[in-house]
Structures are given as C-alpha cells and as structure tokens.
Amino acid sequence: MAIMLKEVDAVCIGVGFTGSILARELTKAGLKVVGLERGANRTTREDFALPSVRDDLKYAVRQELFQDTQLETVSLRHTPAETALPIRRLGSFLPGVGVGGAGTHWNGVTWRLLPSDHNLRTHLTNRYGKNAIPAEMTIEDFPVSYDELEPYYDRFEKLLGVSGKAGNLRGQKIDGGNVFEGPRQNEYPNKPLAMSMAGAIMEKAARELGYHPFRAPAANMSAAYTNPEGVTLGACEYCGHCERFGCEANAKSSPQSCILPVLLADDRFELRTHAYVKELVYDRPGKKVKAVRYVDTRSGEEYEQPAGLVVLSAYVFNNNLLMMQAGIGEQYDPVTGRGALGRNYCYQVSGGNVTVFFEDKIINPFMAAGASFGMNIDDFNGDNFDHSGLGFFGGAWISAGTSNGRPIQTRPVPPGTPRWGREWKKATAKWYNHAFNIGASCCNYAHRENYLDLDPTYRDALGRPLVRMTYNFHDNDYKVSEYMGGVLGRIARAMNPSAMSAPTARRGNYNVVPYQSTHNTGGTITGANPKTSVVNRYLQAWEADNLFVMGASVFPQNASYNPTGVVGALAYYAAEAITTRYIRRPGPLVRA
Amino acid sequence: MVEETIPRRDFLKGAMIGTAALAAGNPAPAAAQAPPSAAPAGADAEPLLTLTATEHAFIVAAVDTLIPTDELSPSGSDCGVATFIDRQLAGAYGMGARLYRQGPFPKAKPELGYQLALNPREFFRAGIEEANAWTRKTYGKDFDRLSEQDREAALKTMEDDKAQFQGFSSRMFFDALLQITMEGFFADPIYGGNRDMAGWKMVGYPGLPATYREDIVKYFGKKYDKPPRSIADFS
Ligand SMILES: Cc1cc2nc3c(=O)[nH]c(=O)nc-3n(C[C@H](O)[C@H](O)[C@H](O)COP(=O)(O)OP(=O)(O)OC[C@H]3O[C@@H](n4cnc5c(N)ncnc54)[C@H](O)[C@@H]3O)c2cc1C
C-alpha cells in the first residue's frame, strides 16, 4: 500500500528545463510546488568539476549522464506488422535523468520555429492547393501562431542568455542574421560567439552561391550574462565538451545555470529526488488527476502525493507512458485513425552529411562551443524555397563547422581510407586538424503509421510496460534528405576542398545505433481539435483539466530545428495561462 | 614496463602441457605446438583483471594489427590498449552497465541494435573463441600465432563479414573490437590506454584543460602547439 501524503498545490513530474520553469512560475504565483525527479541531484560544483568533467570516455562514450536502460528504455518496430524489440543500449537518442534533465548535457542550439512551421497545414494548403498534402502525412497546425508565441520565445532566450544575431528585427531584415526568421521584437540577449575557421570557410562559400549565412543561436555564453532571474552565467571557454557533458563554467544554459539557484532557494518549492513516478491517479468522471504515485528508489517505499495541479514534464516517453497507463485520452490506432494519444510521434531526419578536407587550412576542431557549429543557412529550410514539383514538403537547416575534436568519436578521414592499420594512421594524423562537416538536419513530418503505444511484452524496473515506438522514415523523409544531399554537395564544391566525401542521404530503415538527435516529439500533441490532439493550446489535457503537459511531446510534427527553443517558449506560454487564469478559475481553458 | 622473457601465454601453456599430457587420450592443444606467439615479449605486462591468457594474446595481437608500430605511434599494446580492454571488460561496462537485459531475445535485424543476452565481457569471450576457431580452420593456428600479413588478412575477412562464426556475425565482433581498440587508443590515459598520450600526440589533440576563450581568437587558422595534458596532470 502506498503511503498517503498531504495534498500540495502542484507537483511537477520531472525536474528538467520545463519542470523547473513551471515550478518557478507557479511558486512565484504563490503556489506550494513539489518537484518529483526520478534521478539524483546534480550540481555544477560537485558533478561538473574540472578535471573529471573532461572525461570523454565516461561521459560521451559510456553515457554517464543519460537514462539508464537497465531501468527503463523504449521498444521499436518499423511497421505495425512487426514485433517490437527493446532498445537495449542507447544510441540514436539519449534521454536525460537527474535534476536538470537533458538540459545539463545538451548542446545549446536554441531556435524559434519559422512562422510557416507554426501553421504548417494551413500554410501548405494555401500555397500548394487543397490536395497537395498526401493523406498519410498527418501534419497539423500548432494552435499557437508565431506572433502569439514571439514574446515567450523572447522570454526563454533571455532566461538562457542566447548568443546570436537577429536577422529580422520588427520586420527589418538584417544581413548576417537569419533573414528567414519571423520578426523579433528584440535582438538576442548575448552577442554571437567567436568565429571558427570552418565557419569562415562556410560563410564565404554560401555567399558565393547567393545563400544567406548566419550564426546558429547558441545557449553558450559569448560573454558573462545575468538573466532576468538575477542568475549569472559565465563566459564560454570553447572547450569542445558540451553535448553529453555538464559545464563547469556555468557557461552553457541549463536548469542549474539559469533557474535552479532561485527555485531551490524558494521555500514554496520542495525538491524530492529519487522519486520515480509510477502512475497518475485519474478521476475520469471528475476529469482530474487526483494524485501521483511514486517510488522512492532509495527505500522501495511507495507514496501517493495528491495535488491540485499536475505538471507532466517528464520528457516525451514518460509523458506518453504515464498518460497511456492512466487512460487519459484514447489510444491512437493507425488503422482506423481514431484516438489521439500516441499519435504523430516524430523525430529528426539527420539527413545528409559531407566532410570537406583542406590541406592548407588549420581547423582546430577541439576549440568549439556546443552550438557554434560555425555557419548556417536557412535557404532550404521549411517552406523558405518553392516546393512546386519537388514531390516533398519541408527542408533542413544546414550548418558547417565543428562542435568538438574529441578523438574517440571525431577523426575524419577522406573516403576510401581503411578503418585501421598503417594507412588509417597516416590519414588520421594528416587530416584530423584539416577537416570538418557540413550537415543537414531535416524536418520529420508526421506519418499515419508512426506512433507510440504500450509494449505488450517488455517491462521497465517499476513493472510498467515500455513505451513501444512504431517508427520508420517514409517517402517524404527520404526525398528531403536526398535533395539536401545535393545542396550539401554544391556547398562543399564551392569551398574548393582538397578532398571531400560523397554527400550522403538517409536511406534504409531507421537505425537505433548511431546517434542522430535527442529530438523525439509527439504522442501528446497540441491542437484545436480534441479528436486529433491530446492537449489544448495551453498544453492542458483535454481529458483532465488539472493536467498540463510540457515538452516536445506536444509538437504536432517536428520541424527541422532542435526543439528546446520552442519547448521553453511553450512552457512560459502555458505557465502564464495557468497563473493568470487557471488558478483563479480551475476548469478547461478552451471549450472543446 | 617489466621485461618478460617468456610471453605470459607460453608460460601458462607450458604449465598446461604438463597437465594435458597426464590426461590420457587428451591431445595437446594445437596452439601449444605452434611457434611462439607473434605478440612481442613484454608487451603490455600489466596484471590481468579478467582476460584469460589466450584471450589476452588474441587482444594484444589484434590491437597491434589495428594500430601497428610506426613513426606515428608505438603499437596498440605498447600504448596500453590491451590493458584498457582488460579493465573495461572487467568493470561496469563489461558487466553490462546501461544495457537492458530482459528477454525474450529473438534474432533481430541490425537496425534494432544489440539484441543478445550476453554482456560485453561474455560477448568478447565468445567472439575471441570464434575468431580463434576460424583462424585455426583457415590458417591452422590461433590468431596471435599468425604472421603480421595473415593477421591483417584475417581481420579484413572478419570486417568484410566473410569469416564463418557461430552465433553472431564476424563483422559484429570485428566492429566491437575496433570500437574498443579506438577507445583505448584515444581515451584519457587514466583508463590505462593512450599511454604517454600517444594517440593524442598522433593527431594533435591537446587534451586538458581545454580552456580556449582567448586561444580561439589567437590561434585562428594556426596550429595549436602546446603539448597535451591528461586528467591525471590536474588531479
Ligand atoms: C546530447 C543531447 C544534445 C542536445 N542538444 C540540443 C540542442 O543543441 N538544441 C536543442 O534544442 N535541444 C537539444 N537537446 C534536447 C534538449 O536537451 C531537450 O529538448 C530538453 O532538455 C527537454 O527538456 P524537458 O524538460 O522537456 O525534458 P528533460 O530535460 O528530459 O527532463 C525530464 C526530466 O524528467 C525526469 N523524469 C522522467 N520520467 C520521470 C518519472 N517517471 N518520474 C520522475 N521523474 C521523471 C527525467 O529524469 C528528467 O530529469 C539535446 C539533447 C541531448 C540528450
């Protein structure tokens, strides 16, 4: 029997970026909030200290900071007809665990969506006609437009201290920034990071081709920065240990470096670590989550924590799992198309790749900030280019540069080089400091057959079924990726390299082994229609008024961009609706 | 490094022949009659945590073929890569840390990743057995007894998935072997490999402390010439 606890105003399930933002906004509004985090506490001083934080084997290769698959993983099959098998070792994506979540070990590329990504279905229909979108492409509009979300993007960027340069300031296009972005009210809070050699080469080539190069917006501090919470972040050291590592300098925006210092100092917040939430106690007739049940992993003791408000901020997989188990919403069925829960699971098609080699140029790949890949172009992103007659929709953000030179994983050699032996050694020694990548991160538009549900066979350490992913790339994905391969080849040739690899495109089945991105989205999507979405525009569950769902699980599909800029903006947008409207008058914020 | 005149494996094999000879009808292992191991005497004489003598001989021979001595670096085992592998397989990684191990374990397509019930330690045990069985069939000897040329050819055959293994494919074993070898050559020396930072020196990776706020401007387009340092240099 679970031990019953006294009711609190609100609980946040998971204390990553979204959990800490919601907890902060709710406590500021006067609520007593409990943060339940399955992992341990993590602090910069204890856990991300020099010299150990530079341990490539421990963090990047043995995956020290990520979810432990011995406790929990997900299963995968490529089609509904197959039997899913568990992802036994993390590879393709790396969910976080512990206070700070994946926000401690992300890279920091912090995007806004394009305005046309927000109203995707409407936009494509208006531009290409009523029948242009294939039936199996189940894309939707975000119910919140770019203009509505703009102030909240701004707020999240200011929390993080994002380094960058505006390309569209209140409608005025600015060369050197991203001229394709939606209008911004304000410049980025921090100036762009230092330029790398790879970035300089990319900039020149892109300009020659008539494209519009710009610096990726980076949650790596170009200079020390004090955010509106009064928390000060340090300046980036360009250490080349960003993604998969914590930051010793508090120079990468993370819950630890941006918000936890003020949240943890607030008496209205109580952090409970080792609190692994097992289930939501759902009152179906009352349309409420009455309580959450969790296991203290230090004792095995089970607790029931009643709460007035429940924030589900546990990343895509646990968000879906906890709602599916409690039956909050109807499970999506790919055959009938009925049900919304689990629908539109999407990922990122990390599409093409070209490596360019320069005999006479020194790259110093190991001097790098996580998000300063160098230079980007958005000329082939979203609907920034005409898709008439192309046979696909969507695009990619394209970047050239390096985020690290850690040699266990980063040792480019020209095509045709053996993987070992004397020739390999010669080529590796010769080219290590003379090469970089140009890559395309492609969108992944929802497909009828890609979805999440509960696995019938495999279970996690709490005895819950694993989330089962039915997922593969489809026609649109292969075509976007093929097209981008062509663009990458053009850019590479314009750089005039001594050697280059053949541009690759995404072919074959989705493979869980190589890392692609931790940009898993969907399953609890936001929308205007309760039949096809799980949460409304304020991220409030249609079927449980006091349940608000945070994170990329609410994306109707995945644009080409990394998700966290959007995730953070939506968190602030929802928090405002909760604190200004919901707590005064609990109930549905949108009439179904 | 300790000078050893009898390679560890031959020392143990010698001891074993005595026992084998006593057991009636038990032929001495083929390898025991073969010429001495191709692995250089004294290479990597750190005490072993988990590898058996036969496994260690295989690993030394393999890492020295994957990373041969030349003007760019000493051999894999002289860089401590065999020690690194022994320690990794003896530790948490070898025992299956961060590996979901609940069954059933049906045969799966490779895109679903590792799907065996074996932990890495058990996988390498099985893989080395298979590799040696295959070289015995093909060349008449265990892998470590082969000439350098034959070792290269044998590894290439495994890499191309053309060697017959029981159970998993030879390419799967080769890929795991190559991966852990590169880890040992390029990981921080605190794990026993990358001795004297030989791997880092070969490519020009400066290691720690990696605080380049000023250097990223100063060294734009220029070679960074400071000698590498490891975690141990700061501990
Ligand atoms: C290596 C890597 C690089 C990345 N780089 C980028 C990038 O450059 N740009 C970008 O935009 N995004 C990037 N991301 C993604 C980014 O980290 C996430 O989008 C972001 O952290 C999500 O925040 P969240 O609050 O939704 O979830 P998380 O940060 O994952 O937090 C969820 C928390 O919930 C906890 N939790 C889960 N289940 C339970 C449960 N049942 N009970 C209790 N607690 C639970 C988890 O332990 C975790 O702490 C990267 C991710 C990784 C892993």
Question: How do residues B83-138 score in pLDDT, each as one tens digit?
Answer: 999 999 999 999 999 999 999 999 999 999 999 999 999 999 999 999 999 999 99
Say if residue B17's pLDDT is above 50. Answer: no
Question: Rounded to whole angstroms, how far apart are CA atoms A330 and A455?
Answer: 16
**Choice among A148-162, A332-346, B17-31 with the minimum mean pLDDT:** B17-31
Mean pLDDT of A131-142: 98
What pLDDT is recorded for position A1?
Answer: 83
With a 6 Å cutoff on the Cβ, whether A518 touches ligand 1 is yes
- Report the distance separating Cα A591 and Cα A354, nearest Å: 50
Tokens of A367: 């001097």
Q: HSE, CB side, 13 Å, CA atoms: give it for residue B30.
A: 12
Residues A359, A198: Cα–Cα separation, whole Å: 13
- Residue pair A293/A55 in contact (Cβ under 8 Å)? The answer is no
Task: Give the residue, by CA position, lying nearest to ligand 1 atom 19.
Answer: A564
Using CB atoms, pick whichever of B66, B104, B188 lies closest to residue A56.
B188
Contact by Cβ (8 Å): A234, A251: yes
Helix (H) or strand (E) holding A290: strand A288-296
| Residue B235, burial from CB neighbour count under 10 angstroms (0-12, 13-18, 19+) | exposed
pLDDT tens sequence across A286-319: 999 999 999 999 999 999 999 999 999 999 999 9
pLDDT at A148 over 80: yes
For residues A332 and A74, give the distance between their C-alpha atoms in angstroms, rounded to a whole number: 18
Q: A568 CB less than 6 Å from ligand 1? A: no
Pairing of strands A499-500, A465-470: unpaired
ipTM of this complex: 0.96
Residue-wise DSSP of B167-224: SS-HHHHHHHHHHHHHHHHHS-GGGS-SGGGHHHHHHT--BS----TTHHHHTTTS--
- CA gap A470, A450 in Å, rounded: 5
Q: What pLDDT is stored for residue B21 in this prediction?
A: 38
Q: Is the pLDDT of residue B23 over 70?
A: no
- What is the model's pLDDT at position B151? 98
More confident site: B42 or A271: A271
CA distance A195 to A401: 10
**Secondary structure (DSSP) of A174-192:** -BTB-TTSPPBSS--SBPP
Q: Are strands A232-233 and A225-226 parallel, antiparallel or unpaired?
A: antiparallel
Average pLDDT over residues A118-141: 98
Model pLDDT, residue B26: 39
State the amino acid at position A576 in one-letter form. E
For residues B19 and A166, the model is more confident at A166
For A42-65, the pLDDT digits (tens) are 999 999 999 999 999 999 999 999
Contacts of B65 in chain A (CB under 8 A): 420-421
Task: List, for residues A518-539, the tens digit of each pLDDT value.
Answer: 999 999 999 999 999 999 999 9
Is A519 a catalytic site residue?
Answer: yes
pLDDT of residue B24: 37
Answer whether A199 contacts ligand 1 (Cβ < 6 A): no
Q: At A504, is the pLDDT very low, low, confident or very high (cuts 50, 70, 90)?
A: confident
Nearest CA to A584 out of A345, A309, A280 is that of A309
Work out the pLDDT band at A86, boundaries 50, 70, 90. Answer: very high
Name the CA dihedral angle for A114, A117, A122, A128, rounded to a multiple of 10 degrees.
80
Percent of chain B exceeding pLDDT 90 equals 80
Per-residue model confidence (pLDDT) at position B29: 41
Query: Among B51, B57, B41, which Cα is nearest to B1's?
Result: B41
**Confidence band for B38, pLDDT divided at 50, 70 and 90:** very low
- Shortest distance between the Cα of B131 and any Cα of chain A, in A, equals 18
Would the pLDDT of A67 be above 50?
A: yes
The answer, yes or no, to whether residue B60 has pLDDT greater than 70, is yes
Distance of alpha carbon A280 from the chain centroid = 25
Do residues A217 and A163 touch, judged by C-beta distance below 8 A?
yes
Residues from chain A contacting residue B206 (CB–CB below 8 Å): 366
Chain-chain contact of B70 with A78 (C-beta, under 8 angstroms): no
pLDDT attached to residue B119: 98
Would you say the CB of residue A154 lies under 6 angstroms from ligand 1?
no
pLDDT at B10 over 60: no
**CA proximity to A122, closest of A484, A556, A591:** A556
- Cα-to-chain-centroid distance, residue A246: 17
- What is the model's pLDDT at position A592? 80
Q: Which of A408, A411, A513 sits opposite B187 (nearest CB)?
A: A408
pLDDT for residue B8 is more than 60: no
Q: Pairing between strand A465-470 and A74-77? A: parallel
pLDDT, one tens digit per residue, over A412-447 is 999 999 999 999 999 999 999 999 999 999 999 999
- Chain B residue numbers with beta carbons less than 8 Å from the beta carbon of A90 are 98
The structure tokens listed for B210 are: 């990696």
Smallest CA–CA separation between A258 and chain B, in Å?
21
CB atoms A512 and B112 under 8 Å: yes
d(CA B60, CA B81): 8
Task: For an interface test with B, give the residue of A358, A425, A467, A510 to mutate (most B CBs within 10 A).
Answer: A425
Cα–Cα distance measured from residue A578 to residue A420, given in angstroms and rounded to the nearest whole number: 58
Question: What mean pLDDT is reported for chain B?
Answer: 87
Nearest C-alpha neighbor of A36 from the set A125, A116, A80, A97: A97
Residues whose CB is less than 8 angstroms from the CB of residue B11 and which lie 6 or more positions away in sequence, other chains included: none
The Cα A343–Cα A138 span in angstroms is 9
* Paired tokens of A225: 């920065």
* pLDDT tens digits, A531-587: 999 999 999 999 999 999 999 999 999 999 999 999 999 999 999 999 999 999 999
d(CA A250, CA A225): 10
Residue A96 CA to residue A100 CA, distance in Å, equals 8
pLDDT digits (tens, 9 = 90+) for A368-412: 999 976 899 999 999 999 999 999 999 999 999 989 999 999 999
Are A292 and A319 contacting, i.e. CB atoms less than 8 angstroms apart?
no
